[in-house]
Amino acid sequence: MNGSTSRGHRWGPDARGRSTWARGRIAAVAAALTAWLLVFHATVPDLPGRPGSLLETFLPWLGLAVPALLAVGLLRRSATALLAALLPAVAWLAHFGHLLLPLPGSAPQDPTALTVVQHNAADDNPDPAGTARTLLAADAGLVALQEVVPATRPAYDAAFAERYPHSAVLGTVGLWSAYPLTEVRALDIRPHGVGRDWQRGLRATAATPRGEIAVYVVHLPSLRLTPRSGFDSDRRDESAALLGSLLAAERLDRVVLLGDLNGTVDDRGLAPLTTRLDAPASGLAFSWPASLPLARIDHVLARRAEVTRVWTLPATGSDHVPVAASVTF
């Protein structure tokens, strides 16, 4: 038998007489389920343990199922499995494809845009001065930090003093600005049972060349993933709801929120924010953990403005990677 005939036989009936269309049905079902989860992830109930929020946190990684399903289809020589693998591929591209066009860092900077930087600098950062130098290289108009503590704040103040003469630090969140800041106030986004010494939100009005902008700098409560309770996001979700109410009452039309939200924009727990503010138009910019970034939980969101792209900056002494964004009005 020649090579051509041999290859054709491999895609013909198998030893049990099943055609290439009859094989690989389990893989096809898995492909359909993956596509369903990508498109209709909101239908996964948030039972105890919050499986829905956990799925949405790592939703982009469902795309890894596509090459795995294609490999199964080839190994099984199944036309059904190979065609079915297109379902999650199309679903992933429909949901996340726009974030890749253009690729982060490849688009020219809009000279009329406002560049902003968001970074959870970590309260145990061993090199705050080096972190500040990394952030300064972005040449942003606004820099927002979380986990600013007395041991690290002097380094940030000293490094930012010339470039950012205006600043506000309340609790553990800070904003350094090239533009005058007024109406600075603390945001009460404390979940139930948390004391008044927990201060992780501020609001300020920045007088930029594009007009006045309400700038929010926040750090929502951390999530917990334990065998007993599963994905525990109750405090984060409560804090997000409080912040959403404050945003709804904001008097200025233009709003830019910079923060460690401890969740992705697909996470239903952040709906009080994502239904009021727009997410970036391009860029994946996974920011956590710094050692192997798996999700973007550091965000730049806006109202009456467009976050045209978001990208990551070089790693610092934090367990988060800093993100920068271009905002147009």
Amino acid 11: pLDDT:
73
The answer to whether the beta carbons of residues 309 and 102 sit under 8 Å apart is yes
| Amino acid making up residue 153 | R
Q: Which of 144, 288, 152 is nearest to 202 (CA)?
A: 144
Amino acid 6: pLDDT:
45
The C-alpha torsion from 84 through 88 and 89 to 90, rounded to 10°, is 100
User: Among 94-108, 182-196, 211-225, where is mean pLDDT lowest?
Assistant: 94-108
Question: What is the Cα–Cα distance from 307 to 114, expressed in whole angstroms?
Answer: 9
Is residue 52 predicted with pLDDT exceeding 80?
yes
The answer to whether the beta carbons of residues 327 and 140 sit under 8 Å apart is no
- Stretch 178-183: mean pLDDT: 98
Amino acid 282: pLDDT:
87
Question: What is the Cα–Cα distance from 300 to 316, expressed in whole angstroms?
Answer: 19
Amino acid 5: pLDDT:
44
Residue-wise burial string across 259-274, b where 16 or more C-beta atoms lie within 10 A, e elsewhere: bbbbbbbbbbbbebbb
Measured over the CA atoms of residue 134, residue 136, residue 141 and residue 142, the dihedral's sign is positive
The answer to whether the beta carbons of residues 80 and 21 sit under 8 Å apart is yes
- Stretch 214-237: mean pLDDT: 85
